[in-house]
Amino acid sequence: MMICDGRRLPLNTAASSGPVSSQQVRRANKFPLHPNTKLLRRPSLPTTMACSPHHQGDVVFEANAIGWAPSGARTALSLRHERDPARLPAAAVRKRDVVVKLSGAAAGASVRVVQLDSAFPIGSCINGTVIQDPAFVDFFTSHMDWAVFENELKWYWTEAERGQLNYADADRLLDFCDRAGKPVRGHCIFWAVDGEVQQWVKDIGRDDPDQLMAAVRDRLGGLLGRYAGRFPHYDVNNEMLHGRFFRDRLGDGVPALMFREAARLDPAAALFVNDYNVECGGDPAATPERYVDLVRALQRGGARVGGVGMQGHVTHPVGEVICDALDTVYAATGLPVWFTEVDVCEPDDALRADDLEVVLREAFAHPAVQGVVLWGFMQGHMWRQDAALVNADGTVNDAGQRLIDLRSEWMSDARGRLDADGQFRFRGFHGT
């Protein structure tokens, strides 16, 4: 926050309210609540129920109606683009009451408090090509807070052939982010899916498990030893809900070993699980309940799991489905969640903007979510088509403008006058 004399004011503490009974909250009953979790509940309307977040320290969710359609004829589009503010009470999660006291100022003096930085980061993946595009760099430096490398830190990139290490590409990207002042997620140390494992690793995994284990340890030591303290997050063994390469060859305990060794080598880094479709529904391999089982298995093996990554590669997102997945994972684990690879596919720019807003508002309104990283934003430089926020010529499309507008909406610009005690009170978004 900045007040008239240019001082910066941290704004990071959440408001609180008292917990009430949780008996009627809709929940995946398989999991008991994490001990840090409290539930809030309001009276519901006689209609479909959906989980909705409210905040009280480590609070998770409440039950509330998504709206009433007497004919039951809610269309898929209206459900996707639900705008019920009561179901998305972001102010309860992302705002707090603030009192600014200006010594020596007269009562009635005009005051303006302008927020400069948000405590809710949004970022993007980058690669060695896009950072050479001035239009990409301009949008990235203006509107993104974090970065993640699309490929350059992955094992198949840094050691495509055994013993031939290539960290030059990652170093260049890290230098770029350092100059831009953008923290970087470390993606990824290992990848559990067979098709994403380089051939030499497959060969030794087939012929000699001891050599594979040695290679795993060398990878951990080489990567984390080189970059200790440089990456605040690491995705340790990517997509374990969809792949078992290392477990099938080295046993079910190897993912926990990866986490333990990573924690030893870089104690400051938050170590994440990361997977896709958990937030979408419809993938039996990636239900929220299976994700919770995975986290708990890692923890039983001594893993220090620091966060849960939901990738967010979505088409036609439904807010209530996203919210329910967040509720299930957070209620059972108490771990922070990041959306780590968001792209929203829709050929129509206006609908894509609406779909992107669904994802971002659900993330912003949920107390579990600490940040969102897009899997790119510029046409011609994205893994999935029809997901761009910026066109190939550098113009910002409807989806990109929607992101800019939401970021502006979630920044405080409070105006008023000092009271008789020389104070100005307002409710502001967390940040500085």
Each residue's pLDDT tens digit, 147-168? 999 999 999 999 999 999 999 9
Q: How would DSSP label each residue in 196-251?
A: GS-HHHHHHHHH-HHHHHHHHHHHHHHHHHHHTTT-SEEEEEETTTT--HHHHHH-
Asked whether residue 315 is assigned to any structural domain, the reply reads yes
Closest residue by Cα to residue 91 from 320, 402, 410, 359:
410
Q: Is pLDDT above 90 for 1?
A: no
pLDDT at 42 over 50: no
User: How far is Cα 345 from Cα 387, in angstroms, rounded to an integer?
Assistant: 5
Q: Across the strands, what pairs with 235?
A: 187, 272
Q: Are 301 and 253 in contact (CB under 8 A)?
A: yes
pLDDT of residue 83: 52
Segment 345-386, tens digit of pLDDT: 999 999 999 999 999 999 999 999 999 999 999 999 999 989
Token readout for 142 is 């203006």
Active-site residue identified among 62, 159, 261, 341:
341
Active-site entry in 150, 159, 239, 346: 239
| pLDDT tens, residue by residue, 232-241 | 999 999 999 9
Same structural domain for residues 138 and 113? no
- Is residue 56 situated within a structural domain? no
Can you read off the two tokens belonging to residue 292? 């919770």
Is residue 24 assigned to a domain?
no
**Do 104 and 148 lie in a common domain?**
no
Phi/psi region, residue 142 (left: phi>0; alpha: psi -120 to 50; beta: rest), is alpha
**239 an active-site residue?**
yes
- The DSSP H or E segment spanning 100 is strand 95-101
Indicate if 354 and 426 belong to the same structural domain.
Answer: no
The answer on 423 and 289 residing in a single domain is: no
Length of the chain: 432
Tell me if 130 is assigned to some domain. Answer: yes
130 has pLDDT over 50: yes
Task: Give 38 or 110, the one with higher predicted confidence.
Answer: 110
Check whether residue 160 and residue 276 sit in a common domain: yes
Task: Please tell me the distance from the alpha carbon of residue 48 to that of residue 122, in angstroms, as a whole number.
Answer: 31
> Torsions phi, psi of 270, nearest 5?
-85, 125
For residue 24, what are its two tokens? 């009627």
How far apart are the C-alpha atoms of 95 and 427, rounded to whole Å?
6
The Cα–Cα gap between 148 and 187 comes to 7
Residue 194 sits in the same domain as residue 338: yes
How distant, in Å, are the alpha carbons of 40, 75, 332, 338 from that of 31? Answer: 18, 32, 6, 21
In a domain, 243, yes or no: yes
Report how far apart, in Å, the C-alpha atoms of 409 and of each of 130, 347, 384 are. Answer: 28, 26, 28
Assigned domain for 374 exists: yes
Query: How far apart (Å, rounded) are the C-alpha atoms in residues 39 and 189?
Result: 36
- Of the pLDDT bands very low, low, confident and very high (cuts 50, 70, 90), residue 56 is very low
Reply yes or no on whether the pLDDT at 396 is more than 60. yes
Say which CATH number the domain at 205 has: 3.20.20.80
Contact residues for 172 (Cβ-Cβ < 8 A; gap 6+): 128
Task: Let me know if residue 45 belongs to a domain.
Answer: no
Distances (CA, A) of 293 to 69, 257, 285: 36, 17, 12
Strand pairing category for 110-114 and 413-417: antiparallel
Active site residue 150: no
Average pLDDT along the chain: 84
Domain annotation covers residue 6: no
Which pLDDT value is given to residue 22? Answer: 28
Q: How many domains does the chain have?
A: 2
pLDDT at 400: 99
Show the domain range for 377.
Answer: 122-410
Same domain, 202 and 87: no
pLDDT at res. 82: 54
For residue 68, give the amino acid letter. W
pLDDT at 305 over 60: yes
pLDDT surpasses 60 at 216: yes
Residue 46: pLDDT over 80: no
Do 318 and 183 have their domain in common?
yes
The answer to whether residues 142 and 197 belong to one domain is yes
293 with 400, same domain: the answer is: yes
Q: 288 and 343: one domain?
A: yes
User: Half-sphere exposure of 107 toward its Cβ, with a 13 Å CA cutoff?
Assistant: 3
Q: Who contacts 401 (Cβ-Cβ below 8 Å, separation ≥6)?
A: 353
What end-to-end distance do the CA atoms of the chain give, in Å? 4
Same domain, 350 and 244: yes
> Which of the residue ranges 35-44, 217-226, 269-278 would you say has the lowest mean pLDDT?
35-44
Q: Which residue has the tokens 């107390």?
A: 367
Identity of residue 104:
G
With 70 as the cut, is the pLDDT of residue 77 above it?
no
CA distance 280 to 286: 9
